[in-house]
Amino acid sequence: MVVFLAIPLLGLLVILQSAILSQVRLLNGTVDLVLLVLVAWSVQERVKTAWHWAVIGGLLISLASALPLSAILAGYLLATGGALVLRRALWQRPLLAMVTATFLGTLITHAVTVAALQLTGTPIPLTQAINIITLPSALLNLLLAIPVYAWIGDLANWLYPQEIEL
């Protein structure tokens, strides 16, 4: 049930990302709302469907993006894995886990994207890519990390209500 909720939710975010957020740029960097939601979902304590959401998010983004599906999926799955590791390591500091996972997730997805583009023959100057795309994107993602965490936290609490022992 919770897995199926990801389809309309992430679908809506992909539309928002493609229609509006991809035009809001800091230098050449843009915010990755799907990545933020996947990371925020993964760092929630009681969530058990993080991998499913990552796959659904990757599939939905691939409908709008010209990037190879494998690169998108690999990026999101690695970012989700990183977020899950951070959730266990920083279980007492979920907000710190969110911020760290967001930054690392941005680096991971961009690294995978650059690698995929290089493999397909697209020339990507690495220093320029870091300076004008990756770092601005990381900054934008970090700015939105806390609001997205709060929103997804509410959603997770609603879907996974805390059990109280009597």
Among 3, 4, 12, 15, binds other proteins (CB under 8 A): 15
Question: What tokens appear for 42 in the block?
Answer: 């993964």
3 touches other proteins by CB under 8 A: no
The residue to which tokens 């990026």 are assigned: 75
Residue pair 42/101 in contact (Cβ under 8 Å)? The answer is: yes
DSSP 22: G
122 touches other proteins by CB under 8 A: yes
Question: What tokens appear for 156 in the block?
Answer: 């997770």
Residue 18 or 51 having the CB closest to other proteins: 18
Residue 34 or 47 having the CB closest to other proteins: 34
30 touches other proteins by CB under 8 A: yes
Among 32, 40, 83, 104, binds other proteins (CB under 8 A): 32
Q: Which is nearest to 144 in space by CA: 112, 88, 103, 107?
A: 103
Fill in the amino acid letter for 5. L
Phi, psi torsion values for 20, nearest 5 degrees: -120, -55
Site for other proteins in 70-109 (CB under 8 A): none
Task: Give contact residues for other proteins (rule: CB under 8 A).
Answer: 14-15, 17-19, 21-23, 25, 28-30, 32, 34, 61, 64-67, 110, 113-114, 117, 120-125, 128-129, 132-133, 137
